Amino acid sequence: MATDTDKQHFPASEVLRLAIDILRGNGVPSEGAETVAKCLVAADLRGVDTHGCNRLPSYMDRIRQGVLDPKATPTVSEVTPVVAQVDGRNGFGFLAASAGIDKAIEMARIYGIGMVSIKHSNHFGMSAWIVQRAIEADMMSLVFTNSSPALPAFGGMSKLLGVSPLACGAPAGKTRPFILDMAPSIAARGKIYKAKRRGESIPLDWALDANGEPTDDPSKALEGVMLPMGGPKGSALAIMMDVFSGVLSGSAFAGHVTNPYDPSKPADVGHFLVAIKPDLFLSLDEFKERMDYLYQRVVGSDKRPDVDRIYFPGEMEQISQDRREKEGIPYAATEVTALNEEARKVGAEPLRTEAGALVSEYIRTLLTPLNLTLLLLTLFAAYRIFTPRPNTIHLPAPPPPIVFRTFNPRTLLPYNGTQSTANPNGSIYMGVKGKVFDVTPGRNFYGPGGPYENFAGRDATRGLACQSFDESMLTKDLDGPLDDCKDLGPDELENLKGWYERFSEK
């Protein structure tokens, strides 16, 4: 099986440029082309290659076959103050879902929740981009869709249910957000299409051939059925997606959604989106702190001997995005050929190699009016710096800042949230990197009975860096020197930096 190192890498900006050119060349208006292209590139960056720009050839085929309207604009109808419906009008699912989640967020900002049903739509790619849109608005979300049949009902052999992803998410503070995006099958159908496109085999537990036998041939798997994860559980999840997305919206359901590679008729996909305001029951800051605590508990939990690291849902994809933003998006040679063929059909420039694209992008951005203005300002500043000027009058240095109060580990100890002679107000102070912070407003977290109570009145530097609340993280000798934490590794120092910045901001 090919790895990223076996493929050509292209900057995300170059892939985005190509996708927009191809979409515009096939009749998609500029604004819509940019929205669709950004969603596809987002999938490529997150490592969800099955739902990235390699889907463009199949989308363009559907436009040319007249079963997908490139110019369709979704319409939004408000049903109640917290419920709306979007008619995708057989346009791109990305555009219908974009309008839907924006409307859901708008309603949730006012009323706390917004629900949107979407009908007569098409494939909207990776569900996580919709979840991410909600997270950027500090919203929780649920994202459902149905799709063309590929799964049997549990115990059956005929294609009836879609490999319809279930997605949801929630924002966090300093840690990674929660993003779940999964199919009810053992593997997403797009992975089988990708294996077929690249000439690769698939695991035997992914699908059955037309005779009901396990197969590692992706072509035979597409002729047969995919297998639901967890047996009846995966089958039930697929039915749930059909209820909320197909039955409820008035779109196709029960095996009647058209396959994206079938040119005979529109897909008629349905979606169901929900946005939820997370500060309905507690403040947004407290919600995010609780999410951060959940993240730390999950990734910091005990690992099996054969496990190097425990990941939070969505974290692996974010790590992939961080890497690909630097290294570029990898494509197999067959995928590059297919994308360049689409570019040729509309007279667009093909994908350029990473170095060529970077040079072209550098020259293009260098010659913008803004950069030319900045260049002139730089030249003017240089002129002023190197031109002789009259001697400057030097004012005396200001006096050093006055320190209000200093603590050592022993004098800090009484400030643990309980009232005492030394701490009559029951304040909560905490030391981080030699600085003392008043965390009394966060008593639910740092006070008695809270998850961080061990840090109250103590130097929490090592515990925050190691994401551990154990008492062994605290300074034992209250009269000795502060813990210099010189043995911390890069990841622990990065954790500590995030916490220190957070306390400093507050």
Identify each DSSP E strand in 277-336 by its residue range.
329-331
CB neighbour class for 194 (10 Å; exposed up to 12, middle 13-18, buried from 19): buried
3-state secondary structure of 379: helix
70 contacts 28 by C-beta, under 8 angstroms: yes
CATH number of the domain within which 100 lies: 3.30.1370.60
Dist CA 436 CA 360 (whole Å): 51
- Which residues does the chain have with pLDDT short of 50? 1
Is 432 among the domain residues?
yes
Of 411, 460, 465, 454, nearest to 432 (Cα)?
460
235/226 Cα distance (integer angstroms): 11
Q: What is the pLDDT of residue 191?
A: 84
Among 10, 12, 35, which Cα is nearest to 23's? Answer: 35
437 with 319, same domain: the answer is no
Q: What is the CA radius of gyration of the chain?
A: 28
Half-sphere exposure of 85 (CA within 13 A, CB side): 13
Angle made by CA atoms 148, 154, 156, in degrees to the nearest 5: 75
CA angle, residues 195, 129, 296, in degrees to nearest 5 = 100
Together in a domain, 160 and 292: yes
- The whole-number pLDDT of residue 251 equals 98
Q: Residue 384 falls within a domain, yes or no? A: no
Domain tally, the chain:
2
> Is 255 inside any structural domain?
yes
First to last CA, the chain: 49
259 and 163 within one domain: yes
Specify the pLDDT at position 3. 57
* Burial 108-126, CB ≥16 within 10 A → b, else e: beeeebbbbbbbbbbbbbb
pLDDT tens-digit readout, 436-461: 989 888 887 788 887 788 888 888 88
81 with 146, same domain: the answer is yes
Question: Bridge-partner residues for 416, per DSSP?
Answer: 428
According to DSSP, the residues that pair with 144 across neighbouring strands are: 166, 272
Alpha helices in 165-226 (DSSP H): 189-198, 218-223
3-state secondary structure of 430: strand
Question: Is 50 found in the same domain as 127?
Answer: yes
Q: For residue 319, give its domain range.
A: 4-185+228-298+310-364
438's torsion region: left (phi>0), alpha (psi -120 to 50) or beta? beta
| CA 460 – CA 468 distance, rounded (Å) | 10
Examine the domain organization and report whether 347 and 430 are in the same domain: no
For residue 56, tell me if it sits in a domain: yes
Cβ atoms within 10 Å of 186's Cβ, excluding its own: 18
Neighbours of 420 (CB within 10 A): 12
Residues 85, 63: Cα–Cα separation, whole Å = 25
Residues with Cβ < 8 Å from 389, sequence gap 6 or more?
none
Question: Are 38 and 152 members of one domain?
Answer: yes
Q: What is the pLDDT of residue 368?
A: 75
Q: Has residue 213 been placed in a domain? A: no
Element (DSSP H or E) covering residue 295: helix 284-299
Note whether residue 427 is domain-resident: yes
Tell me which residue of 448, 380, 387, 445 sits closest to 416, measured CA to CA: 448
| DSSP H or E run through 36 | helix 30-45
Residue 356: the pLDDT is 59
Do residue 157 and residue 13 come from a single domain? Answer: yes
Element of type H or E holding 95: helix 93-111
Token pair 């590059």 in the structure block, residue: 336
**Residue 269 in domain:** yes
Q: What sections of 369-470 are H helices per DSSP?
A: 369-386, 409-412, 443-446, 461-466
Specify the pLDDT at position 162. Answer: 94
Cα–Cα distance, 224 to 245 (Å, whole number) = 24
Gap between the Cα atoms of 217 and 207, Å rounded: 9
Instruction: Retrieve residue 142's tokens.
Output: 């649920």
Of the candidates 355, 322, 354, 363, the residue with the CA atom closest to the CA atom of residue 336: 354
Nearest to 469 by CA among 449, 487, 485: 449
The answer to whether residues 346 and 484 belong to one domain is no
Do 26 and 111 share a domain, yes or no? yes
* Per-residue model confidence (pLDDT) at position 327: 96
Residues 146, 50, single domain; the answer is yes
Model pLDDT, residue 331: 97
Considering the domain architecture, whether residues 445 and 331 belong to the same structural domain is answered as no
Is residue 372 a part of any domain in this protein? Answer: no
**CATH number of domain containing 492:** 3.10.120.10
Query: Residue 145, CB half-sphere, CA atoms under 13 Å: how many?
Result: 31
Length of the chain: 506
Q: What is the pLDDT of residues 147-206, one digit of tens each?
A: 999 999 998 888 999 999 999 999 999 999 999 999 999 887 778 888 888 889 999 989
100: helix, strand or coil: helix
